[in-house]
Structure 1
Amino acid sequence: MKFTVPPVPSSPTQQSTLNATANVLPRMSDSSDSTPNKKRRVIHWDPEHGRDNGAKRWTVLRLAAWILGGGLALLIVAGLAIRGIRLVVGPQFLRPDAVATSTTTDDPSLAFVTESKATLARENVANALNEMRRLPQDHPSQLQQLILIEKAFLGGEILLANRNYAAAYAHFTALGREIDAFSENVKLKQVTQKAYDEVLVRMRDLDRARDLAPAEFETAFADAGTGRQFFVDGRFATAKKQFDAAFAALDRAEAALKDFVDDNLRQALEAVAAGDKPRALAAFQAALEKDPGNEIGLQGLKRAEVADRVRALIIQGEGLEQKQEHAAAAESYGKAFELDAFSAVAQQGKSRNERLKKETALNAALADATAHREAAAWDQAIAAYERALKVDPTNENVSKALAETRETAQREAVKSALAKALAYENKYEWEQARGSYHETMELDPANTEAKEGYFRTGKMIRTLMQYNKLVDVAESHAQRAEFQSSIRSFNEAMAIKPAYLALTDRVSQLRAVLNLQSKPVDVTFRSDGNCWVSISNFRMLGKISSQTVKMLPGDYEIVSRRKGYQDVLLLLQVRNGSTPPIVSVACTLRASG
């Protein structure tokens, strides 16, 4: 007799979820099976085996045994089937009381949960579950929790398929919170794993401080080991606290290392300042043994090699400085600074004696300048002040005295240049006047009169250039019989013409021509009364027989049009001083086609 378990009703979405779970569970079972060659007993059941060919008789006892055995077998198979289904869909399978309990929750709003609301909750959980599957779950406790979540999701699918929407909504809502907690747990695991890796890296980097802070290293090692065990057990928050404690112990070990290095560097620098080469080398080497990349230590080794020579040069410089031989003292300090560019004593001694040397030279130059100025020898005084400025370029008093001396020396030159500029301007010689004003400004950049004259003459030069240009433009228009454009340009030129400027013969002739051509001329137009006559860009005359129009002198186009006839185009020149023209225009030729 063969028994089958009826399939659990499922939607297409439920079937995809079952497939996803099937992809997870085998991996878990594969990882839990640690014995690849485990023996399995195979039982072959053949009811015909051992039976002879003859038929046995059915007795009452035999029939009762068969009925009892078959019933027992049926109960066993049904129990195994139900247990298997509960392992997949959850313990609530075939338990009405569980469903009733979930639907009779304290929240009265669940009694009105619609199918759409339950389906929306299911979709939100499904999306969250898909996102959760993408997270790395390489920890046994997380894999186990993922399997339980997958099973719980299938349980919600069953409730939704059975139209128990209130229970399904409550189920999926709770499952959503569980998925959120699981995602946070995965992220915490990643943070904890990173903290552990950083602890290991830092312990390796600070290994050179082990003998300086052995207790701190032991504490850090113990905390890291304890945290690792918590991590393996899945207690990530507790593991993170242990790793933080390990970091704190390593911080203390690093501080002990820093104190050791700083103390040796301090001793080494004191030895360098005293010129004690052996003691300086020993202290620098001790510091570099614990901190090989320390820049002060690496530089200090070089300084220690020349510490005795540098000290001797500094002593020599101090003796010369006491004798006020500042140039020689600066040279001794400078040689010491060349050997040890980090020696503050050598650097300060060099700077101090160079400053004293400059002060001596400055005082001598100022004394010469004062003497020459009292003697009104301005050139010699200027030279002395310039020599003083070379010694001290930032000395404001020297700069002021030099400026005053130069001002006195050039005052007459400024007066002369300014008088020359005014003379040129009075003769309307603008170019020469502007050049003299420019010369004055070079001698005295702050001279207001020179600046005003320079700008005034420049403006007059530009005005004359514009005047001549407008006259040329007006003349060009007049030559092309564009009298109105010529008149406009000529009027603009007359508007900006300086009052003192007389008209040349060329300009006078142009004015006479433009005066003559500025008056309108009576022009008579004649046509056959059937054509449309127009003056391009001037006026439409229409169908006329005869009409007189006042037109300003210039060149015009006369157009005549008539339907069915070819257009007629005439060029007309209107001028004053000649007989008024009579224009006859008509369309007489028929259009072809």
Structure 2
Amino acid sequence: MTEDKAQPLSATTFEPAPVIAESDKAATQGDTSRNVLIAGGAGAALLLFVFFVLPEMVSPDAVDLADSAMTSNPASNAGGDMLSTAGAGAVTGEGRSPFAEAQESALRREAQEILQALLSLQELLAERGAARWGEPVYSEALNRAAAGDAAYRERDFELATSEYQAALNQLSALETSLPERIESLHSVLIAAIEDGDVPAAQASFNDLAEMAPADIRLIALEERLIALPEVIAALESATQAEGMGNLDTAVEAASTATRADPAHERARTRLAELQAAQRRQQFTEAMTMGYGALASQRFDTAETQFRQAAALYPGAPEPDAALIEVDQARTQKTLMDLQAQGAQAETEERWADAVALYEQALEIDALLLFATEGRARSAPRAELNDRLGEIPAERDRLVDARIMRLAQRTLAEAEAIADSGPRLRAQISAAQETLAYASTSVPVTIQSDGLTDITLLRVKRLGTLSSQSLPLRPGRYTAVGMRNGYRDVRVQFEVRPDQANAVEVRCVETI
């Protein structure tokens, strides 16, 4: 481009006429006619000088020299244009006409206006690095502008305008392509960051900063560029850890990369891949440990492992099927344990425990044969066991004939069992001793005042007596005494063979 900067055309300065004060108007009115005559004469003399004397004084070479000086600075101000026009007007008699001069001046102005726009746009594109990315169009535009300068110096303003306009069009096309070029360069920069190419990313960032210095994305891109070495190192560590089979370390390294640059797509993808591999590994380990625990009948541990596997892959069929196996195996083990425990309870003559165990099994499966048969065997023995145990415990109640008969029937039922075990035999022996004890009468002396009517409850009425001895079986008795005019009395006493058994019954409290 030419070093002469195009200057905008300046307006012709307008000088206002001086203002005359009101007080001076009256003093000057008398001289008006005389002044008009003098001014008219001076004007006529000046016109004669301009049209007849001055053309003879100015040579054609001087006019051409003045025009050349003007074209050497196409951005001349309005004063220069006026001087050129005046010079041309001085030779209109023998040179170009004022109309031609006016046309040329208009063409020059048009060229200057286009040149000014061209210079502004070229400066903008130069700041945006167009010399680097705009080739060959940028150089072609500069060459067209240089051709325009040459035409301008030759006063071929039409050609200069054409060349300037062509250059302006080319630079405008480059300016129009800026958004697309910026986006393309942004994509190249992102690709370099994703590829981990630090030099290429830095170069693209510098180019983008030059091409679009106000792009708001530069802030985030600079942060990503700073974090890029850390991202690259973390991803390399993740790959090494994965190769060694240490997926936990690999996932942590990939997580470090994503924390350093959350927008790094490759780091996020790598983290997702490693997490998926880690999840598959954890799933396999959980299923393997679960089946190992199931084989050793550690059902709670197996269930925990299978549920962990199900949490890793919700809806996966394998953990659900394994949990069903755990339930079935646990149930089977429970039933087998109940069967074994029930049989053991029968062997040990713990009949109530056996019944409870078999009933637990029937709650799980009401059709279990071993539980049904076991309960049928154990329930009568459990009931007999309870009745046999009550005989020694209620020895003193055996004085009641009804209770004695029930105890005797219970003993007979127990003695009828052929395969009696040691516990049953001990119960039979204890019942026999208790019944023998309760069946042996002991002499008891009843003393009174001969006036009290005595009744021995559940035995017989004794009537009035002073002293009477009668045989009674060991146990607890109640004697009731009654006498007219006296309050009734009740005397409870216990008959035992190892003590002196004497009871006094008499009514002594009057009513």
What TM-score results when the alignment is normalised by the length of structure 2? Answer: 0.29
Could you say which structure has the larger radius of gyration? 2
Taking CA–CA contacts closer than 8 Å with sequence separation of 6 or more, which of the two structures ends up with the larger relative contact order?
Answer: 2
